[in-house]
Amino acid sequence: MKPNLSDLQKWMKWIITDPRGVSRALIEVPEPDLKHRERFLPPSHLTPRALLHSIQDAPPISREQRLDIYAEAYFARIVEVLENDYPRTKEVLGESEFTRLVSNYLKAHPSKYYNISDLGSDLHTFIRESCDTTGYEYLPAIAKLEHALVESFFADDLPALEPSRLQEIKPDEWPSKTFTLDPSVRLLELDHEIETPFAREDQYLVVYRHFGSVYFETLTRPEFRVLSWMQDGLTLEEWCEKLSEWVEELPPIMQWLQKWITQGMIRKIN
């Protein structure tokens, strides 16, 4: 009996994307503790080799070899994308170790995204929790920053806010004002410095896109907290009260606002 199209499509997706490779996938079952194990299996009523005969035989290349060509191309494309998105991570590890990292990562986190730029969203967590980072403990922080840069680049955009908007607001209106950050803004609290990665010291970063380019810069802890409170929807009065609890003197908040508007980080004052 010929397979129906749906079964054949599911089987092809499974055999080409299984990170163990075609040959092993055809004879092995996933490890019991493998995350998302159902994504590595053909349709439940089919054995792994059930539809192999549906692939046209074209000697001297076997059916398995022909499938493997597509599987290798799929994996090579993923490695290429992650190399572009995580250049510093690859530089630290070297090419062969980076490829091994990607292979192990895909076994634990097979692609479930329509947008391939989202594929590395769990990479920094995977490195921290599942890899031996002895000698490069700063690597999860680097991978986290690199993913934020990718996210920021592909984020939606909002119309710019003119700095002159600050002058239009009456003094008695300021306490109740909230601020809308650009969707590209990412706030990162890292446990290693990026510029001097062997220094185990907290670092606060903001990532943002401005005129099509993505930037990141180091923030002071008060700056980081203020932007976080803005992102959470707190009013100026609320985050000024919070700020006054752990700083002796209020920082130059209006200067910060002017700067963040100029950089495109603040898009609305509500």
Residue 191 is part of a domain; what is its CATH number?
3.90.930.50
Tell me, yes or no, whether 107 and 40 share the same domain: yes
Residue 172 lies in a domain: yes
Residue 159 lies in a domain: yes
Tokens of 40: 């590595």
Q: What is the pLDDT of residue 9?
A: 81
Cα-Cα end-to-end distance for the chain: 65
Kindly state the DSSP code that residue 269 receives in the 8-state scheme.
Answer: E
Q: What is the pLDDT of residue 214?
A: 95
Counted domains in the chain: 2
Q: What is the pLDDT of residue 226?
A: 93
Tell me, yes or no, whether 50 and 165 share the same domain: no
CA distance 22 to 19: 8
The alpha carbon torsion through 147, 148, 149, 155 (nearest 10 deg) reads 110
Tell me, yes or no, whether 66 and 158 share the same domain: no
DSSP string, 189-252: EESS-SSSTTS---EEEEEEEETTEEEEEEE-HHHHHHHHHHHTT--HHHHHHHHHTT-SS---
Domain that holds residue 94: 5-131
Residue 25 lies in a domain: yes
Tell me, yes or no, whether 52 and 160 share the same domain: no
Q: What is the pLDDT along the chain (270 residues), one digit of tens a residue?
A: 567 788 788 778 877 877 777 887 777 655 544 444 455 555 666 666 777 777 777 788 888 888 888 888 888 888 899 999 999 999 999 999 998 898 888 878 877 777 778 888 899 999 988 888 787 888 999 999 999 999 999 999 889 888 888 888 888 898 999 999 999 999 999 887 776 555 556 789 999 999 999 999 999 999 999 999 999 999 999 988 888 887 777 788 889 999 999 999 999 999
CA distance 115 to 137: 29
Q: What is the pLDDT of residue 30?
A: 52
CB neighbour list of residue 159: distance below 8 Å, 6 or more residues apart = 267
Q: What is the pLDDT of residue 195?
A: 62
Nearest alpha carbon to residue 182 among 162, 208, 163: 208
Q: What is the pLDDT of residue 149?
A: 95
Q: What is the pLDDT of residue 33?
A: 44
